[in-house]
Amino acid sequence: MRILHTMLRVGNLEKSLHFYTEIMGMKLLRKEDFPEWKFTLAFVGYGDESDTSVIELTHNWDIESYDLGNAYGHIAIGVEDVYKTCDKIKAAGGTVVREAGPMQGGDLVLAFVEDPDGYKVELLED
């Protein structure tokens, strides 16, 4: 068994695709419209779905935003250098909501960025 994907509902698919592909460096792996049911699925990730877990972006055409609730945590992405990655994300127009630095009470270096819908993405030194 393995994790296949994590699904996020997004209000503006183009903004979300820009964030995950242009700012976070993922690839758009596949995208499919379902006009009869008024939604689109787009899958993004760092590798092929047969080898890695990916993110499914679900865009319901009639909904522009969602209440994220208080149960959702974050997606975690391993990076070589959290400080440099934050600089690249900011230079590309992304939002860093927790600057790179050691985890409270530990040595692990991390940062948090936020996607256009407010979902948090944790960056961890890998």
If one counts every other C-beta atom within 10 angstroms of the C-beta of residue 55, the result is 22
* Rounded Cα–Cα distance for residues 55 and 103 (Å): 25
For 2-43, how does the pLDDT look when each residue is reduced to its tens digit (9 = 90+)?
Answer: 899 999 999 999 999 999 999 999 999 999 999 999 999 999
Q: Give the count of alpha carbons within 13 A of 80, CB side only.
A: 2
For 54-63, how does the pLDDT look when each residue is reduced to its tens digit (9 = 90+)?
Answer: 999 999 999 9
pTM of the model: 0.90
Tokens of 96: 């860093």
Q: 122 an active-site residue?
A: yes
Looking at 14, 49, 80, 122, which residue is catalytic?
A: 122
Torsion-angle region of 75 (φ positive above 0: left; ψ -120 to 50: alpha; else: beta):
beta
CATH level 2 (architecture), domain 5-125: Roll (3.10)
Torsion-angle region of 93 (φ positive above 0: left; ψ -120 to 50: alpha; else: beta):
left
